[in-house]
Amino acid sequence: MKIAALAGGIGAARFLVGLRAAVPEAEVTVIGNTGDDISLHGLRVCPDLDTVMYTLGGGISAARGWGREDETFAVQDELAAYGVGPAWFGLGDRDLATHLVRTEMLAAGYALSAVTAALCERWKPGVTLLPMSDDRVETHVVLAGDDRRAIHFQEWWLRLHAGSPAESIIPVGAEDAKPAPGVLEAIAAADVVLFPPSNPVVSIGTILAVPGIADAVRTGGAPVVGVSPIIGGAPVRGMADACLTAIGVETTAAAVAAHYGARAAGGLLDGWLVDTADADTAAAAPGGVTVVARPLFMTDVTATAAIARAALELAGV
């Protein structure tokens, strides 16, 4: 079985661990969000790609959900002693090695997709991990208010904890970006396309903003099933509600399904997996989307594998 999955960071990575456990023989291609990418101290940092790579490769910090296990922050502390920030973006010493390798390879002329493949040779995530694009896309947030200042998504998310309302969220560069090699091919060849429980705006939404990707999902032969990141009217973790508010979508499983839309009506979804707390979503979901309710808390690999199995069942594969 061939599976293509769009992926943000923590939510997607955890889901993918369960998916790999549920169908170890499947060929999984992960199309990762790079809109969260940022350059810091001259280094190119790709937080979502690294979260997926470290999590599937067994190197993630289980407690934090991002960055490396057994991490120290000596370099960041030394930078702070020079008065050099930002303090709000955690860059661990082990993690820095990844960014050094990436930056050096990019400077030597390798595309991000080639760099990601090289990094994955070490981590062996058991999936093919592709960036959504080799072109630079960086999500920015236009703050509501008089000055309508635009700041990098990471500054809004990490420094402001998405507490300052966003007037709009813009994947800068997306409209001119091309899907990375293999992305459209993986969607076209897939037996099923999955949207893991990732942020619908700044993870899945950013990937879909790369011209060609949404069309490939919409018009491909494979059924498309999403897993709701919203349970009982709130994100399980993080501030997806602030992102949804910015695009005028209610923070409910039904509203997110309506936002993606039914493939039968020119949208993206055939199936939508919601938590048992949201079983009433079926009535509110758009026509043409089959809604199934299952426990959706990814508490451990067993529970997460059951979620993945339910998503595949819903897809009929």
Q: Which residues bind ligand GDP (CB under 6 A)?
A: 8-12, 48, 51, 197-199, 203, 227-229, 231, 235-238, 240, 296-298
Reduced to 3 states (helix: H, G, I; strand: E, B; else coil), residue 45 is strand
Structure token digits, residue 229: 């990141």
CB of 8 vs Ca ion, minimal distance in Å: 5
Please state the closest distance from residue 246 (CB atom) to ligand GDP, in A: 14
Residue 48 lies near Ca ion (rule: CB under 5 A): yes
3-class DSSP string for 167-225: EEEEEECHHHCCECCCHHHHHHHCCEEEECCCCCCCCHHHHHCCCCHHHHHHHCCCCEE
Q: Which is nearer to ligand GDP, 9 or 173 (CB)?
A: 9
Contact between 50 and Ca ion (CB under 5 A)? no
- Taking CB under 5 A as the binding criterion, the range among 41-49, 101-109, 114-122, 255-263 that sits at the site for Ca ion is 41-49
The answer to whether residue 9 forms part of the interface with Ca ion (CB under 5 A) is yes
Rounded least distance, CB 293 to ligand GDP, Å: 12
Question: From the list 7, 8, 49, 137, which residue makes contact with Ca ion (rule: CB under 5 A)?
Answer: 8
The residue sitting closest to ligand GDP, measured at its beta carbon, is 11
Q: Which does 278 bind (CB under 5 to 8 A by kind): Ca ion, ligand GDP, none?
A: none
Note if the bond before 131 is cis, omega within 30 degrees.
Answer: no
**Closest to 162 in 3D by CA, of 235, 86, 243:** 243
- Give the shortest CB-303-to-ligand GDP separation in angstroms: 8
Where does residue 129 rank: exposed (0-12), middle (13-18), buried (19+ CB within 10 A)?
buried
Q: Is 126 exposed, middle or buried (0-12, 13-18, 19+ CB in 10 A)?
A: middle
| Closer by beta carbon to ligand GDP, 5 or else 26 | 5
From the list ligand GDP, Ca ion, none, pick the one residue 59 interacts with, judged by a Cβ distance below 5 to 8 Å according to partner type.
none
Q: Is 36 in the site for Ca ion (CB under 5 A)?
A: yes
| Per-residue tokens: 165 | 């309302």
As to burial, measured by CB atoms within 10 angstroms (0-12 exposed, 13-18 middle, 19+ buried), residue 157 is buried
As measured in angstroms, the least distance from the Cβ of 236 to ligand GDP is 4
Contact yes or no for 295/228 (Cβ under 8 A): no
186 and 229 Cβ atoms separated by less than 8 Å: no
198 binds, among ligand GDP, Ca ion, none (CB under 5 to 8 A by kind): ligand GDP
Q: Which is nearer to Ca ion, 48 or 138 (by Cβ)?
A: 48
